[in-house]
């Protein structure tokens, strides 16, 4: 029989940080529809700041910050005793419209990034527990991605970003976060080598985030391969978190009863995570309506999360719950 406990209670009992990202739109701008906040705070013990702390939404112009959305999410988390994960201080994507046309010098960009990190991580030093400091800095072939940050500062921009974050938020855990590194492959090797260099240079990094977006879940990560990868990163002395999980299928190859397949997939990944010393799993949204996949790629399914459009729990919810219950 299904447990009467909430997922949050079971996560707490398993020392699991179980989070979801939310966007400010989803819960603050539609006050008649408070279910995102209700479901989040009842069923999860952590929240990630969706889009609100990315440079694009946060920086309407070069000298201004708009913290309204970010404050709303962070304060919701703090008020409900959720662990708060800030996402993300440095990324090449979702930058403000003025950013790429800006004719900066390398020094200006460095100063800009330092001020950005000091301001943002400093503002939330008492509230954000974990930062995705640098997001997606490695290309799919494992080489360093040629971003504006890399062009201006070389690989040192990563060292600096972690140092600047550590200066103003010394209590926060500081993470490198990326996609497509959930099992050992060319890109994961590149990230591994990068993290090894950072550690050798004394950079204050605490962990690595595996995003874990599964677009074609039948062909995606084998739990054994995930476990091997987690252990490899942990052997570097890093914590490993699953930071943006969702589970989708190629519309031309959707398994019969795909919600059951999805449930088993979530369960297997969480089990591999826990068995290999990864104590954090975050889903990229609370309910399917708010999934980024609704606007991303029409060739894959767009019901990748634990709750459906009506905030009813899906088979994946019960599968995770069952797993956690069995481990209490
Ligand atoms: O807010 C504007 C709106 O004003 C405008 O009318 C509309 C027109 O396109 O765009 C809206 O912005 C969109 C924004 O999401 C908010 O919905 C952007 O176009 C869209 O590009 C943006 O997509 C986000 C994406 O990152 C950007 O790459 C997704 O919501 C977000 O879920 C996704 O999250 C990333 C993680 O940060 C990093 N890992 C991968 C993950 C999925 O791509």
Q: How confident is the model at residue 140 (pLDDT cuts 50, 70, 90)?
A: very high
Pocket test for ligand 1, best of 55, 59, 94, 99 (most atoms within 8 A of CB): 94
Rounded mean pLDDT of 178-188? 98
The Cα-based distances of 31 to 27, 28, 35 in angstroms read: 7, 6, 9
What does the pLDDT read at residue 301?
98
The mean pLDDT of the chain is 96
* Ligand 1 center–CA 275 separation, angstroms: 33
48 lines ligand 1 (CB under 6 A): no
Lowest mean pLDDT among 262-266, 271-275, 287-291: 287-291
The residue-averaged pLDDT of 81-85 equals 98
Is the pLDDT at 28 greater than 70, yes or no? no
* pLDDT value at residue 2: 58
Share of the chain above pLDDT 70, in %: 97
CA dihedral sign, ordered 93, 97, 103, 104: negative
* pLDDT range class, residue 292, cuts 50, 70, 90: very high
Residue 24: pLDDT band (50, 70, 90) is confident
- CB of 93 closer than 6 angstroms to any ligand 1 atom: yes
Determine which residue's CA is closest to atom 38 belonging to ligand 1. Answer: 135
pLDDT above 70 for 37: yes
User: What confidence tens digit (pLDDT) does each residue in 236-259 have?
Assistant: 999 999 999 999 999 999 999 999
Q: What is the pLDDT of residues 150-159, one digit of tens each?
A: 999 999 999 9
In angstroms, the Cα distances linking 231 to 20, 108, 196, 240 are: 24, 40, 14, 9
| Residue 203, both tokens | 């950079």
Give the start-to-end residue ranges of the domains of the chain: 7-327
Is pLDDT at 172 greater than 70 in this prediction? yes
For 257: left if phi > 0, alpha if psi spans -120 to 50, otherwise beta; the answer is: left
The pLDDT value recorded for residue 170 is 98
3 state DSSP class of 2: coil
Distance of CA 144 to the CA centre of its chain: 20
Average pLDDT (296-319) is 97
Name the residue with higher pLDDT: 10 or 219. Answer: 10
| pLDDT score recorded for residue 197 | 98
Confidence tier at 274 by pLDDT (50, 70, 90): very high
Residue 28 per-residue DSSP state? T
Among 34-38, 82-86, 210-214, which is the least confidently predicted range?
34-38
Instruction: Using a pLDDT cut of 90, give the percent of the chain over it.
Output: 95
Q: What angle do CA 43, 47, 53 make, to 5 degrees?
A: 155
**pLDDT band, residue 224 (cuts 50/70/90):** very high
Distance 168 CA to ligand 1 centre (A): 28
Q: Which of 43, 136, 183, 271 is catalytic?
A: 136
Per-residue pLDDT at 171 exceeds 80? yes
Q: So what's the pLDDT on residue 25?
A: 81
Whether 30 has a pLDDT exceeding 70, the answer reads no
Going by pLDDT thresholds of 50, 70 and 90, the confidence category of residue 29 is low
Q: Confidence band (pLDDT; 50, 70, 90) for 26?
A: confident
Residue 278 C-alpha to ligand 1 middle, in angstroms? Answer: 28
The answer, yes or no, to whether residue 31 has pLDDT greater than 60, is no
pLDDT band at 204 (very low <50, low <70, confident <90, very high): very high
pLDDT at residue 282, rounded to an integer: 99
Question: Is residue 136 annotated as a catalytic residue, yes or no?
Answer: yes
Atom of ligand 1 nearest to the CA of 54: 37
Q: State the sign of the Cα–Cα–Cα–Cα dihedral 73, 180, 311, 281.
A: negative
CATH code linked to domain 7-327: 3.20.20.80
Does residue 325 carry a catalytic annotation? no
């Amino acid at each position: 029989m299904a447990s009467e406990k909430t997922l949050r209670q079971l996560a707490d009992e398993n020392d699991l940080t179980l989070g979801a990202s939310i966007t400010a739109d989803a819960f603050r701008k539609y006050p008649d529809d408070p279910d995102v906040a209700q479901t989040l705070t009842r069923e999860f013990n952590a929240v990630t700041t969706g889009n609100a702390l990315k440079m694009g939404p946060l920086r309407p112009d070069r000298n201004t910050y708009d913290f309204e959305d970010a404050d709303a999410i962070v304060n919701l988390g703090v008020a409900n005793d959720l662990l708060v994960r800030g996402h993300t201080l440095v990324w090449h994507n979702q930058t403000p419209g003025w950013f790429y046309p800006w004719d900066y010098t390398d020094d200006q960009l460095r100063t800009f990034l330092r001020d950005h990190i000091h301001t943002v991580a400093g503002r939330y030093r008492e509230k954000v527990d974990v930062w995705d400091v640098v997001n997606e800095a490695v290309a799919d072939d494992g080489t360093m991605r040629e971003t504006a940050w890399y062009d201006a500062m070389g690989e040192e921009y990563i060292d600096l970003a972690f140092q600047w974050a550590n200066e103003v938020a010394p209590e926060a855990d500081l993470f490198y976060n990326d996609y497509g590194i959930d099992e050992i492959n060319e890109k994961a090797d590149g990230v591994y080598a990068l993290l090894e260099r950072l550690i050798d240079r004394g950079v204050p990094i605490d962990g690595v985030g595996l995003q874990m977006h599964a677009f074609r879940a039948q062909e995606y990560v084998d739990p054994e391969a995930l476990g091997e990868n987690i252990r490899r990163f942990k052997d570097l002395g890093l914590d490993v978190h699953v930071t943006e999980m969702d589970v989708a299928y190629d519309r031309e190859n959707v398994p019969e009863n795909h919600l059951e397949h999805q449930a088993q997939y979530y369960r297997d990944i969480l089990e591999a995570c826990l068995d290999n010393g990864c104590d954090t799993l975050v889903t990229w949204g609370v309910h399917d309506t708010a999934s980024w996949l609704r606007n991303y790629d029409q060739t894959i399914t767009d019901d990748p999360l634990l709750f459906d459009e009506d905030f009813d729990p899906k088979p994946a919810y019960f599968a995770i719950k069952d797993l956690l219950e069995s481990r209490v």
